[in-house]
A and B are shown apart, each in its own frame.
Chain A
Amino acid sequence: MTNIVSGIRIVGDRTLKIVERIGAIASFLFSILIHSAASFKRFSLTIREVYFAGVQSLIIILVSGLFVGMVLGLQGHETLQRYGSEDSVGVLVALSLVRELGPVVSALLFASRAGSAITAEIGLMKATEQLSAMEMMAVNPISRVVAPRFWGGVISLPLLALLFSAMGIIGGYLIAVVLIGVDSGSFWSQMQSAVDFEHDIVNGIIKSLVFGVAISAIATFEGYEAPPTAEGVSGATTRTVVSSSLAVLALDLVLTAFMLKGWN
Chain B
Amino acid sequence: MERSTLNLWVGIFVLLGFFSFLMLAFKVGNLNLSSSNETYIVTAHFDNIGQLKERAPIRSAGVLVGRVKAIQFDSKQYNAEVKLAIDSQFKFPVDTSASILTSGILGEQYVSLDAGGDDKYLKNGDQIKLVQGAVVLEKLIGQFLYNKAQDTSSTKGAAK
Contact = CB atoms under 8 A, between A and B. Distances in A.
Decide if A and B are genuine partners.
yes
Interface stretch (A4-12, A129-137, A157-165): A157-165
Interface string A171-193: 00000000000000000100111
B144 interface: no
Nearest to B57: A193
Interface in B19-51: 19-21, 23-25, 27-31
B116 interface: no
Interface residues of B, number: 24
A159 B20 CA distance: 8
B25 to A, nearest CB: 6
Contacts of B29: 98, 192, 195-197, 200-201
Specify the main secondary structure of chain B where it touches its partner: helix
B145 interface: no
A158 B31 CA distance: 19
B13 A50 contact: yes
B77 interface: no
A50 B10 contact: yes
A160 B17 contact: yes
B17 A195 contact: no
Contacts of A188: 27
- Counting chain A residues whose Cβ lies within 8 A of the other chain, the interface size class is 20 to 34
Contacts of A44: 3
A114 to B, nearest CB: 13
A192 B10 contact: no
B30 A169 contact: no
B7 interface: yes
Interface in A180-220: 188, 191-193, 195-197, 200-201, 205
Contacts of B28: 94, 98, 169, 191-192, 195, 201
B6 A47 contact: yes
A197 B40 CA distance: 21
B136 interface: no
A52 to B, nearest CB: 9
Nearest to B17: A159
Chain A CB within 10 Å, residue with most, of B18, B27, B30: B30
B85 to A, nearest CB: 14
A156 B20 CA distance: 14
Nearest to B13: A55
B9 interface: yes
A221 B99 CA distance: 59
A169 B14 CA distance: 19
A161 to B, nearest CB: 9
A197 B30 contact: yes
A195 B30 CA distance: 6
B10 A163 contact: no
A70 interface: no
Interface in A122-154: none
Contacts of A48: 6
A193 B30 contact: yes
Contact of B24 (A51, A54, A162): A162
B135 interface: no
B20 A165 contact: yes
Contacts of B19: 166
Contacts of A47: 6-7, 10
A247 interface: no
Contact of A51 (B9, B25, B30): B9
Interface of B: 1, 3, 6-7, 9-10, 12-14, 16-21, 23-25, 27-31, 55
26 contacts: A44-B3, A47-B6, A47-B10, A50-B10, A50-B13, A51-B1, A51-B13, A54-B13, A55-B9, A94-B28, A159-B13, A159-B16, A162-B17, A162-B24, A163-B17, A163-B20, A166-B23, A167-B20, A169-B28, A188-B27, A191-B28, A192-B27, A192-B28, A195-B28, A197-B29, A201-B25
Given A55-B10, A201-B28, A205-B21, 5 more contacts: A47-B6, A159-B13, A162-B21, A166-B23, A197-B29
